């Protein structure tokens, strides 16, 4: 079985500041890793995913994430945030084989203050 | 980009009533899912559906729940006798193939409130 922990339920940041949203996972098998974003009144959208290869993954809207296998982490970063980045961010994993379901973390609400 | 559409956006019902949540997946997609998020909790998998049958379901998806693809375009989630603890945001999702590395396309959700 898999589990995902997002260590921060809320992260307030000033505009143009850097941000890191933390995600740790546990799994007995290899997994794919995802970050989804939910803007107000919208569905979840894929931000980026790690499948294999380079551990630094770049996504949409200037976000990137780094896969660290030894620490079982997949933290999301952005060097300079905008007001429009205000949203809920979800880390998720899915096994390479077998069960097709995504296992999500609790979500982190990112609030950008002017 | 094509979208998954869910209706209604909000639904209020009395405990014990039946509700049907509706979803229109992206037209060429073959795999369909329901997830839900109780306020303040994780997004949880409910069920996956392929080739007109359930391919996987969670412990949450008990006999009170059912899914159907009645007409080749809609994908519905029915809760037969709602309970207070069914109050949640319900998300429909779809993807074109079964590849595990493929992204899911989510709808904007139906907020179900059971009173």
Q: What is the DSSP code string of chain B?
A: ----EEE-SEEEE-TT--EEEEEE--TT--EEEEEEE-TTS-EEEEEEEETTEEEEE-TT--TTEEEE--SSS-EEEEESS--GGG-EEEEEEEESS--TTSPPEE---EEEEE-
> Which CATH number do you get for residue A24?
2.60.40.10
Host domain of residue A70: 2-113
Q: Check A100 against B107: CB less than 8 A apart.
A: no
- Write the pLDDT tens digit of every residue in B29-47: 999 999 999 988 889 999 9
Q: Render pLDDT for B53-93 as a digit per residue (tens, 0 to 9).
A: 999 999 999 999 999 998 878 999 999 999 999 999 999 99
The predicted structure's pLDDT at residue B91:
96
Distance from CA of A98 to the nearest CA of B (A): 9
Residue B68 confidence (pLDDT): 94
Confidence band (pLDDT; 50, 70, 90) for B48?
very high
CA distances from A97 to A5, A27, A32, A111, B105 (A): 21, 12, 10, 36, 20
CATH of the domain at B76: 2.60.40.10
Confidence of residue B99 (pLDDT cuts 50, 70, 90): confident
Structural domain range at position B80: 5-114
Total structural domains in chain B?
1
Domain count, chain A: 1
Question: pLDDT in tens for each of the 114 residues of chain A?
Answer: 889 999 999 999 999 999 999 999 999 999 999 999 999 878 889 999 998 888 999 999 999 999 999 999 999 999 999 999 999 999 999 988 877 789 999 999 999 998
pLDDT on residue A92: 95
In this prediction, residues B94-110 reach a mean pLDDT of 87
pLDDT of residue B1: 76
Distances (CA, A) of A9 to A87, A91, B9, B31, B91: 12, 12, 25, 31, 20
Residue B61 near chain A (CB below 8 Å): no
Cβ separation of B42 and A106 shorter than 8 Å? yes
Contact assignment for A102 to B107 by CB distance below 8 Å: no
Whether B51 has its CB under 8 Å from any CB of chain A: the answer is no
CA distance linking residue A3 with residue B112, whole number of Å: 26
DSSP A43-62: -EEEEEEE-SS-SEEE-GGG
Nearest chain A residue (CA) to B9: A41
Task: Name the closest residue on chain B to residue A51, using Cα atoms.
Answer: B101
Three-state SS for A66? strand
Nearest to A63 by CA among A50, A48, A51: A48
Q: Please, which pLDDT band fits residue B98 given cuts at 50, 70 and 90? A: confident
How is A73-112 classified by DSSP, letter by letter?
EEEEEESS--GGG-EEEEEEEEESSS----EE---EEEEE
């Amino acid at each position: 079985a898999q589990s995902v922990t997002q260590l921060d339920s809320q992260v307030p940041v000033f505009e143009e500041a850097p941000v890191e949203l933390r995600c740790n996972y546990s799994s007995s098998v290899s997994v794919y890793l995802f970050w989804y974003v939910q803007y107000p009144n919208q569905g979840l959208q894929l931000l980026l995913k790690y499948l294999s290869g380079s551990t630094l993954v770049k996504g949409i809207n200037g976000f990137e994430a780094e896969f660290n296998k030894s620490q079982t982490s997949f933290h999301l970063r952005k060097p300079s945030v905008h007001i429009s980045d205000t949203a809920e961010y979800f880390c998720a994993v899915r096994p390479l084989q077998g069960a097709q379901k995504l296992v999500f973390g609790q979500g982190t609400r990112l609030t950008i203050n002017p | 980009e094509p979208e998954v559409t869910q209706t209604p956006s909000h639904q209020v019902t009395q405990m014990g009533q039946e509700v049907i949540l509706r979803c229109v997946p992206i037209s060429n997609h073959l795999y369909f899912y329901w997830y839900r998020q109780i306020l303040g909790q994780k997004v949880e998998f409910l069920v996956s559906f392929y080739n007109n049958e359930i391919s996987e379901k969670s412990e949450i998806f008990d006999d009170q729940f059912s899914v159907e693809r009645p007409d080749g375009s809609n994908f519905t989630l029915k809760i037969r006798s709602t309970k207070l603890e069914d109050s949640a945001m319900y998300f429909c999702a779809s993807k074109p193939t079964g590849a595990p590395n493929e992204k899911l396309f989510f709808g904007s959700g139906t907020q179900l409130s059971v009173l």
